[in-house]
Structure 1
C-alpha cells in the first residue's frame, strides 16, 4: 500500500509539473480532493486569520499556495508525501481559468441544462479541455478576461452545474482519489482552454446591483425596459427574450412585481399564458428563486 501511495504521489507530481509548464498554478491534493497540506494556523486560539493568504511564509493556505514554479511545486509535494492528486487554481493569470463542473449526481441532467442555457442565450461551448471525473461527471475548462472575477457557485447557473472561479480549484487530470482517477477526455488533452463565450460569461458574473425603489416597488425604468424587450420579440425570439428578461428581473429583485407585466407582454407577442408561465418559472429556478 505504501508503495502504491508513493507511486501515486510521484505520478501526481509529474502531472502537476506538466500542468505548470502550461501556465497553470497547482497545489497538492489528498485522496479526498481537499488540499493535502493543513493550515499552519489551525493550532492557534482562533481559526485561520482571514488576512493571511500565505504571507506567513508557511504552506497550508489552500489555493493561495498554488504556483507554476517547479521548485516550489516540488517543495509543496515534499511537504505532503501523502498527496495523490493536484488542484489547478482558477482565476489566475495567464489563463484566468473558469471551470464548468457538470455533476451526474444531480436529479436533473446537467449536460441537458447547459444545452438549454446555450439555446436560450445563443452561445456555444467551443472545443476545449474536458476532464472526466470518476463519478461520470465532466469539467469543462474555459478562460475569462483578466478584468472579470468569476465567483464560485453551486447550482446557481442551473441544477447540477457548479462553477469554479476565483479562489477555487479544479482537480487535475491524472489525480487519483478515493473514487478513482480523473482523466482527460479523448481528443482534448492538447487543446488550450477556450475563451468563455460572452453570453455565458454574463450569466457567470454577479448581477450588477441597482438602487431599489422605496417600499419594495420595482425601478420603473428597469421594469419598462424589460417589458419592452419582450414586446419587441419576433417569432422565434419570444421564449428566449422572455426567459432573459425574467432572469434579469429575478436577479434584480423585481421578479414577482414584474410577473403580470411580463405575462401580458408575452401574450401580446403570441405566446400562450401557459407557455409564458412555464418560461418565467424556468427563469426563476435558474436564478435560484421559487416561481
Structure 2
C-alpha cells in the first residue's frame, strides 16, 4: 500500500522526535530539503535580521530545538513536512557534517582518503547517512569553543562541510528524490569526535597579523632546516609507514615551494628507509599533483 502524505509527515515527526531525544536540535523540512516554514517577516517593507527573537517560527535553522513540545508545534505548523533537518554546531554534540557528494567528475570518497593520508588522520567509524543520490553524510562532533563554517568543495572537490548555521537532512526524511537512510551498521553508533588534523583543515585558525616574509611565488622562503627536517622524517620511517611519511613530507615540501628541489633527497631517504626507488618517485609525483590543485 502506498504511503500517504499524512503518513509521511507522521513518520518525519517521529524520526525528528527520536533525534531530539538524542540531543540533536531539529526543524521540519519540505520535500525540497528546505525549511518547511516560511519566514514570518516576508513582505515586510524593511526586512531585518531576526533569528527567532520575535517569538514566531519560520527562521530556518534558528528554530531548531530538542524540546519535544516545541518540535511537535513546529511540525503542526508545517503539516506538509516530509523530513527534518538537524542543526550543526549546536550543543551538546556540536555536530559537524562531512557531505561526500556524488559527481561524474570526481570521487569524493577517494578525495577524503587522500586528505587523510596527506594529513595523517584516520576517518573514524561514525554515524553515516546515505543520500538518495548515492552520496554519504558523515557525522562528527566538534570541541567547545571551535566554530566550523559551512563550505562547498573548499576542503576538496565534492566534499561539502556543514557547520555552524547549517543543517543536515536527518535519516528517515523523504525528499523529492528519495529517502535518507542510515548506512547499515552505523545507526547505533555515536557521532565520533572530529580528528584534530581534519578539524584544523575545516576550521583554520585566524592568520597572524604579521606574516612571515614571502618569496616571489607567495610561499615562505625555504630554509635548510625545513628540508633537512623532512628528509630526517622520511629516514626515520619504519615498515608500514614509509609511503605515508614520504607522501606527507613531499606534500609539505611542495606546499612551501621547494618540492622539486627536495625530491631527490626525499627519494634517497625513502630508499635508505627501505622503499623501492620507483615507488618513492611515484609517491612524490602524487604529492606534486595533489598539492598543485590547491596551490595559488
| Corresponding residue for residue 63 of structure 2 | 65
User: 1:124 offset after TM fit, Å?
Assistant: 1.4
Instruction: Work out whether residues 263 and 276 of structure 1, in 8 Å CA contact, stay in contact via their aligned partners in 2.
Output: no
| Corresponding residue for residue 109 of structure 1 | 107
Q: Distance in 1 between matches of 2:214 and 2:106?
A: 37
| Corresponding residue for residue 85 of structure 2 | 87
Q: Distance in 1 between matches of 2:246 and 2:185?
A: 38
User: 1:268 offset after TM fit, Å?
Assistant: 2.4
| Corresponding residue for residue 266 of structure 1 | 263
What SS does structure 2 have at the residue aligned with 1:150?
Answer: coil
Instruction: Work out whether residues 106 and 160 of structure 1, in 8 Å CA contact, stay in contact via their aligned partners in 2.
Output: no
Give the 3 Å change call, closer, same or farther, for CA 213–121 of structure 1 in structure 2.
closer
Q: Distance in 2 between matches of 1:53 and 1:118?
A: 37
Instruction: Work out whether residues 214 and 220 of structure 2, in 8 Å CA contact, stay in contact via their aligned partners in 1.
Output: no
Deviations 1:185-243 (A, max 9, x none): 1111111101111121122112531334678755858x547545534431522221221
| Corresponding residue for residue 43 of structure 1 | 43
Give the 3 Å change call, closer, same or farther, for CA 145–106 of structure 1 in structure 2.
farther
Instruction: Work out whether residues 263 and 273 of structure 1, in 8 Å CA contact, stay in contact via their aligned partners in 2.
Output: no
Give the 3 Å change call, closer, same or farther, for CA 99–220 of structure 1 in structure 2.
closer
Please say if 1:125 is aligned against 2:133. Answer: no
- How big is the alpha-carbon RMSD for the aligned residues of Structure 1 and Structure 2? 2.6
Q: Distance in 2 between matches of 1:92 and 1:267?
A: 48
Q: Where in structure 2 are there 5+ consecutive unaligned residues?
A: 236-241, 269-279
What SS does structure 1 have at the residue aligned with 2:98?
Answer: strand
Runs of at least 4 residues off by over 4 Å: 213-221, 225-229, 271-278
How many residue pairs end up in the alignment? 273
Q: Distance in 2 between matches of 1:22 and 1:16?
A: 10
Give the 3 Å change call, closer, same or farther, for CA 273–115 of structure 1 in structure 2.
closer
What SS does structure 1 have at the residue aligned with 2:133?
Answer: coil
| Corresponding residue for residue 253 of structure 1 | none
Aligned counterparts, 1:63-212, within 5 A: 63-210=61-208, 211-212=210-211
Instruction: Work out whether residues 5 and 80 of structure 2, in 8 Å CA contact, stay in contact via their aligned partners in 1.
Output: yes
Deviations 1:100-149 (A, max 9, x none): 11111251111111112222222212221111111111111111111221
Q: Where in structure 1 are there 5+ consecutive unaligned residues?
A: 250-257
User: 1:281 offset after TM fit, Å?
Assistant: 3.7
| Corresponding residue for residue 251 of structure 2 | 243
Please say if 1:283 is aligned against 2:263. Answer: no
Q: Distance in 1 between matches of 2:226 and 2:149?
A: 26
| Corresponding residue for residue 252 of structure 1 | none
Q: Distance in 1 between matches of 2:261 and 2:138?
A: 39
Give the 3 Å change call, closer, same or farther, for CA 220–123 of structure 1 in structure 2.
closer
Aligned counterparts, 1:16-27, within 5 A: 16-27=16-27
User: 1:274 offset after TM fit, Å?
Assistant: 8.1
